[in-house]
Amino acid sequence: MKKILFAILLLLQTIAIFAQSNDALWDKANKLYIEGKFDLAIETYQKINNSGFESAELFYNLGNAFYKMNNYPKAILYYEKALQLSPNDNDIQYNLELTNRYIVDKIEKLPTFFITEWINGIRNLFSSDKWAIIGIISFLLTLVFVTLYLISRRYNIKKLSFWISLLLIVLLLSAFYFSYKQKQIILKNDTAIVMSPSVTIKSSPDISGTDIFVLHEGTKVWVLDQISDWREIKLSDGTKGWLKASDMEVI
């Protein structure tokens, strides 16, 4: 028992030291950014990221720093990372749209069925963690109203408790579904940003494959498949092709 307690205390101490270290780096990076030393700010923010810490604010600040250095592909990459963690953040969306204006390739998006668009819009209202919290709260409230339904002897209260419980169950299931989908988007790693200034997309995963079209840095692609160091990608207009993994960076 003493060994377990000692291990727990050691773990808590390690976490506290780790948090203090990251807090100091965070303050340092923000100070460097304010001073206009964007390259050093990026280096410091990356140290936080390399320690295993991730947050929408960290990626947003990295995106801003890269934007200030006119490195638009990297800025887009980190804005996209930030948007995955905070999909309804207006500042991230605005900066991403602003940075995309500097990208050469203007690719039309395939139309989405309106119901799918509507569901995705609701899903993007909150992050995975926030949807999970909503689900837990809905579950607890459901227990309260189910209990009220079971113990109450008044018809009006029983009726009201029944319908509220039903609505809460729908919210509960929806919240956990949206939380799962948001988490899958982050974990799938199926989107990437082209990092090479110009890259020729091939018809097959081979250097001798037929040239199909050319993409430029900053363009967002969806990764469908991989063979060796080649990746099959799809654009927002549905066009497909192959490019080297080294020409892009996964979001």
- CA distances (Å), 43 to each of 29, 47, 58, 59, 169, in order? 8, 6, 12, 13, 47
Alpha carbon dihedral 33, 73, 226, 81, in 10-degree steps, equals: 40
What class is the 2-100 domain? mainly alpha
Work out the average pLDDT over 48-63: 94
Say whether pTM exceeds 0.75: yes
Backbone φ and ψ for 224, nearest 5 degrees, come out as -100, -35
- Mapped onto helix, strand or coil, the DSSP state of residue 87 is coil
Work out the average pLDDT over 193-199: 96
The partner residues of 200 in beta bridges, in order of sequence, read 214
Work out the average pLDDT over 74-83: 97
What pLDDT score does 145 carry? 95
What pLDDT score does 11 carry? 47
Q: How far apart are CA 181 and CA 202, in angstroms?
A: 32
Domain spans of the chain? 2-100, 114-188, 191-250
What pLDDT score does 16 carry? 47
Instruction: Report the Cα–Cα distance between both ends of the chain, in Å, rounded.
Output: 44
Checking if the pLDDT of 84 tops 60, the result is: yes
Backbone φ and ψ for 20, nearest 5 degrees, come out as -65, -40
CATH classification code of 191-250: 2.30.30.40
What is the tens place of the pLDDT at every residue in 108-130? 887 778 888 889 889 988 989 99
What pLDDT score does 109 carry? 83
